[in-house]
Chains A and B, each alone.
Chain A
């Protein structure tokens, strides 16, 4: 029983990381209608910057985190301006391929700068493990902090979207770019802001991920990126609560199937559940039903 609780909680924690990354995916999709395949690699850049900030520059943990967030924010804005903005009118496949190009670019830049050898990432979480029931259940500090961070981020983001002018502008742009422009919303700025927030969140996701799984390589972001994408789709892409629910579910599912069914087949199980969910609800758990008007 205790082991189940422990698997479950570490699943929630992994899911929280997925959720934080998925938020970026879902916001960018909602607003720019594009799958930003480079999102996972921004996570990796964030983790490297934080690693260097802590180990090479000797910054304290909060400053190293901040440095990673600022770097990723800038990186997100630059990528959007340079690679995605010129393609805003182009078909969605061209943008997808460009995003893949950006993903390769980031991976190979990292490979060049930091080498292929894995860096061992020291945890950014200063909280120790908590023991329950006479040590039968141990919850690591990383698990607790990750879950807490995720809840705070999601709550903050929902508040931001619903109660600030910039958030409302985002909703307007995601609904109808043309109409938003006519209403005086600066679409370019709003899209840039979305990329900035998404990238900052990705850096936090990267730091939390590497605190729990401390191997950092240039491809660290790839698989979590894909999983987060799956989480976003599972929850209903474009929906913030959806990304949260999708992420948590995915994390729990992955950990429990690793523990109880087969560690080799856990990915297959996770992806099969995704397929089944989409067949029952073709736009994800919280996705809006789209009907074509005839």
Chain B
């Protein structure tokens, strides 16, 4: 647990450094201002620096954390700017104090931008990659275009607007025009100050950093790393992507408020709200390091200052800017240039360490990249284990969510959806008659364009049974898994899980009902730590709101601690606790498979589907895996359905088998009988 704690402290420290940097920069600038050493040019840049930093933080949430490319963030900035400036114009000259006007302006700007983010996000986030990028770009242009054609005014009869011209609004002579088409808004009160900008930047950082390091952020990043795996553990991609997008839009709206109240006239021009601006912000994010919030703020500051600092070069400055941009990209991203840079740094011994530090990821890179790492860590682990379980019992009392006796029975307790599979031999459900099926499928069929991939698949698997699904390549085994877990909807047929119908539910709902799976080709959340992979699996059992996460409430701390304990407990089962802080992608292959199982177990399933768990393993590893699978059944009371080609494993642990061939059930029955069936042998070996 100490590693986990130190990891959490590291994140905390990192965040503090970010805040401290911003505050230090603010104090420096203030000192220069007060001592009168700041040029008027620099003074004029202070608020824009805050604005662009906020924009960079906002976009990094979408691009870095959520993994979606948005080229229309200036559009949200534009919405925030115009909505808030309109408000301030309406209030101008009234009795409301400026401070209050500005505060409400911020709220209005953020809400309008969030609303547009939400509305555009619902349809648009279904698209992927470059298509999403082009639609966000289109959206940004639409906003700019509409605002350029918008006329808005007020008179004693209320608000008027038109998309044609001033006359068409039908204002009375006493009325005032607020938005005047392409001329925009003139006379916005200058309420933005450097101090206000810094506070808003700190606030944006606070929201984003805390959100990223919480249950919500973990879900968003899990979905980014592997959407299908995320769905399989019960996360809803649409919901979390939309959340990230909306929060990001709101923050961009705040950037817009700051921008609008820094200038006396506001127009929607290509250079301030067009795609060029969106791309500029993207440049901050990419150069600062995708997903690195602090980096994007630093990049925003440097790149906003750079053209101004180059001003003495007059005509050449934008040219130099472009060249610097290309060179920076090559230096940071091109493999050959990186190598050149490394060798250059090696020649400067005192600089070497610095270079390495820059490379360091928020998640600890592998300490030992080779496969021996796991076993080497073991002795230490065993010692840890003892003190751990003591700590856990105490913790269990406080959280109330963890059983006091973790080793014996803990599969059911977290699930919260299980009635009566606490112990294997006596079913706690009074309605059940002795042995009841955990999984029952009735005539499942699915076809893809005329090909019957699965045809009339019926199976009944009992509680605590180890059931094998075998068959030649292309027989439809994985397709069965995909139907069971909701990736595909069957054309016909029924699925009952523990007596409850789960046919054609969404992946998310099926996960909640209690089916978990692993994948043939490993699908981990590769950029998350080993621990976070398992904690993502616990997502639906330790619930606290996004707001709890941002505000770091007591509930957040309690839940996170309980999650850490539970996740470490699971990792210990698979002897992965020693590398809990590693990046999942740095684990050796065999341990990645184990981690996948641990993550599946974290969802508290009743039924576990393993898709070729022994693929790519040598005989020793397979032997070990067989022990692990038996242990899962005995210790977690798990019902397991597995696909496997390794006949030694199948005959060694499966109670019963189903053989699939060309989508149809060829044979079903006890393992021994089925394996020696002449038809089965023929299907595998040919005539």
Contact = CB atoms under 8 A, between A and B. Distances in A.
Interface of A: 29, 35, 37, 83, 86-87, 89-91, 93-94, 96-98, 100-102, 104-105, 107-109, 111-112, 222, 226, 229-230, 233, 237, 262, 264-265, 267-268, 271-272, 274-275, 278-279, 282-284, 292, 294
B325 A86 contact: no
B521 to A, nearest CB: 9
A107 B482 CA distance: 51
A282 B145 contact: no
A105 B323 contact: yes
Which of A87, A275, A282 neighbours the largest number of chain B CB atoms within 10 Å of its CB? Answer: A275
Contact of B275 (A29, A96, A226, A282): A226
Contacts of A237: 130
Interface in B507-524: 519
B146 A268 contact: yes
Contact of B138 (A29, A222, A271, A294): A271
Contacts of B228: 292, 294
A105 B287 CA distance: 17
A265 B150 CA distance: 10
Contact of A262 (B133, B163, B275, B319): B163
A102 B134 contact: no
Contacts of B276: 222
A41 B143 CA distance: 25
B28 to A, nearest CB: 29
B139 interface: yes
Given A86-B334, A265-B149, A271-B139, A94 B163 contact: no
A116 to B, nearest CB: 10
B145 A97 contact: no
B269 interface: no
A105 B319 contact: yes
B131 interface: yes
A100 B283 contact: yes
Interface stretch (B121-129, B348-356, B619-627): B121-129
B128 A282 contact: yes
A292 B286 CA distance: 27
Nearest to B325: A101
Nearest to B276: A222
Contacts of B330: 83, 86-87, 98
Nearest to A86: B334
A282 B131 CA distance: 7
B142 A272 contact: yes
Nearest to B334: A86
A42 to B, nearest CB: 15
Given A112-B316, A233-B130, A267-B145, A275 B326 contact: no
B135 A274 contact: yes
A100 to B, nearest CB: 5
Contacts of B69: 93, 96
7 contacts: A96-B286, A97-B286, A97-B325, A100-B325, A108-B321, A237-B130, A274-B138
Nearest to B335: A89
A286 to B, nearest CB: 14
Given A222-B276, A274-B134, A279-B126, 8 more contacts: A29-B130, A86-B330, A86-B337, A87-B330, A94-B329, A94-B332, A226-B137, A230-B138
Contacts of A90: 333-335
Nearest to B128: A282
The DSSP consensus for interface residues of chain B is helix
A97 B329 contact: yes
Contacts of A268: 141-142, 145-146, 149
Contacts of A264: 145, 148-149, 163, 181
A294 B609 CA distance: 14
Contacts of A89: 335
A112 B163 contact: no
B63 interface: yes
The DSSP consensus for interface residues of chain A is helix
Contacts of A284: 131
The 8 closest A-B pairs by CB, nearest first: A86-B334, A104-B322, A271-B138, A94-B333, A101-B325, A105-B322, A101-B326, A90-B333
Nearest to B336: A86
A87 B330 CA distance: 7
A209 to B, nearest CB: 18
A191 to B, nearest CB: 16
Interface in B154-176: 163
A87 B189 CA distance: 46
B279 interface: yes
A292 B126 CA distance: 14
Nearest to A90: B333
Give the size range of B's interface with the partner. 35 or more
A89 B334 CA distance: 7
Contacts of A97: 282-283, 286-287, 325, 329
A96 B326 CA distance: 11
B319 A109 contact: yes
Contacts of B145: 264-265, 267-268, 271
Contacts of A283: 131
B318 interface: yes
Given A233-B131, A274-B134, A294 B329 contact: no
Contacts of A294: 228, 478, 482, 487, 519
B359 interface: no
Interface in B251-291: 275-276, 279, 282-283, 286-287, 290
Contacts of A94: 286, 329, 332-333
Nearest to B282: A97
B135 A275 contact: yes
Contacts of A111: 315, 318
Interface in B564-583: none
A94 B322 CA distance: 14
A102 B335 contact: no
Contacts of B318: 104, 107-108, 111
A136 to B, nearest CB: 30
Which of A37, A107, A109, A267 neighbours the largest number of chain B CB atoms within 10 Å of its CB? Answer: A267
A40 to B, nearest CB: 12
B214 to A, nearest CB: 25
Interface string B41-53: 0000000000000
Contacts of A87: 329-330, 333-334
A189 B325 CA distance: 27
Contacts of B131: 233, 278, 282-284
Given A112-B315, A294-B487, A35 B130 contact: yes
Nearest to B132: A278
Contacts of B130: 29, 35, 233, 237
Nearest to B140: A271
A112 B478 CA distance: 61
A86 B328 CA distance: 13
Contacts of A35: 130, 133
A16 B323 CA distance: 33
Nearest to B317: A108
